[in-house]
C-alpha cells in the first residue's frame, strides 16, 4: 500500500510538471502569435500608405518623384506573408495528460483564444493577402504597371476599401491582441491554473472593450 501510494503521488507530481511545461510552451506561442499580428498590421499599414498615395496621384505619375514611385512599385509587388504557428496548442490539445485535468475552465479559455487567432488570421488572408495577389499586374515597367492597376476597377475598389478606417482589420487587430494578452495574463497569474471562469467573463469583456476604446479615440 505504501509503495502504491508513493508511486501514485510521484506520478501525479510528474503529470503536473509535464502539464505546466506544456502550458509554458503554449504561453510562449501566444507571445509569438501576438508578434505575428503586430507585424501583419505594420505591413498592411505600410501597404495602405502607398495605396493612398497612388489613389491621390490619379494616374499622374509625374506628381510623384521617380525614386518614390519605384519604392511604391516594389511595395505593391511585395508579398510578405507567413502563416502563424499553432503547433504548441495542437500538441497540448492532443496530449493524453490534458484529458486528466480536473478543471476545464483554462482549456475552454485557451480554446476560445485560439479560435479567434485562427479566425482572424483567416480573415486577413482572405480579405487582404489573397486579394493583394490578384491585384498584382504583369507589367514590369512601373509606369505601365500603375496604369494597369488604376485601369482595373476591382483594384481601385480594393485600394479604396483598404484605405478606409472602417476596414474590419483595424478593429480586429486590437481585439485579438487584447484576447491574447488577457490569456497570457491568466496563465501568469494562476500558477496552479485553477480559477472560476464564470467570474472572469465580464472581466475579459471589459479588458477587450478598454483596448478597443483606446484605439478608437
Residue with cell 501525479: 12
For residues 169 and 45, is the Cβ–Cβ distance under 8 A?
Answer: no
Residue with cell 507585424: 39
**Does the residue 109 lie in any domain?**
yes
**Does the residue 12 lie in any domain?**
no
Element containing residue 42 per DSSP (H, E): helix 2-57
Q: Which domain holds residue 82?
A: 21-216
**Does the residue 181 lie in any domain?**
yes
The number of folded domains in the chain is 1
**Does the residue 150 lie in any domain?**
yes
Per-residue pLDDT of the chain (217 residues; tens, 9 = 90+): 555 454 544 455 666 677 788 888 999 999 999 999 999 999 999 999 999 999 999 889 999 999 999 999 999 988 877 888 899 999 888 887 777 666 677 788 889 999 999 999 999 999 899 999 988 877 778 899 999 889 999 999 999 988 887 777 788 899 999 999 988 888 887 655 555 666 666 777 788 888 777 766 5
**Does the residue 145 lie in any domain?**
yes
**Does the residue 14 lie in any domain?**
no
**Does the residue 65 lie in any domain?**
yes
**Does the residue 7 lie in any domain?**
no
pTM of the model: 0.82
Amino acid at each position: 500500500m505504501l509503495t502504491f501510494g508513493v508511486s501514485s503521488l510521484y506520478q501525479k507530481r510528474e503529470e503536473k510538471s509535464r502539464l505546466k511545461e506544456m502550458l509554458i510552451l503554449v504561453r510562449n506561442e501566444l507571445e509569438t502569435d501576438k508578434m505575428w499580428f503586430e507585424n501583419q498590421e505594420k505591413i498592411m499599414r505600410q501597404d495602405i500608405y502607398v495605396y493612398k498615395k497612388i489613389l491621390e496621384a490619379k494616374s499622374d505619375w509625374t506628381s510623384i518623384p521617380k525614386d518614390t514611385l519605384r519604392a511604391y512599385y516594389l511595395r505593391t509587388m511585395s508579398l510578405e506573408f507567413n502563416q502563424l504557428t499553432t503547433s504548441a496548442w495542437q500538441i497540448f490539445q492532443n496530449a493524453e495528460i490534458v484529458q486528466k485535468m480536473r478543471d476545464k475552465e483554462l482549456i475552454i479559455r485557451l480554446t476560445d483564444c485560439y479560435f479567434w487567432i485562427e479566425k482572424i488570421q483567416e480573415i486577413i488572408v482572405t480579405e487582404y493577402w489573397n486579394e493583394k495577389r490578384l491585384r498584382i499586374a504583369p507589367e514590369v515597367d512601373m509606369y505601365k504597371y500603375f496604369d494597369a492597376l488604376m485601369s482595373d476597377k476591382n483594384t481601385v475598389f480594393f485600394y479604396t476599401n483598404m484605405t478606409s478606417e472602417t476596414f474590419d482589420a483595424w478593429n480586429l487587430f486590437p481585439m485579438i491582441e487584447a484576447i491574447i494578452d488577457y490569456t497570457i495574463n491568466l496563465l501568469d497569474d494562476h500558477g496552479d491554473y485553477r480559477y472560476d471562469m464564470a467570474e472572469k467573463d465580464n472581466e475579459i469583456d471589459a479588458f477587450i472593450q478598454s483596448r478597443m476604446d483606446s484605439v478608437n479615440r
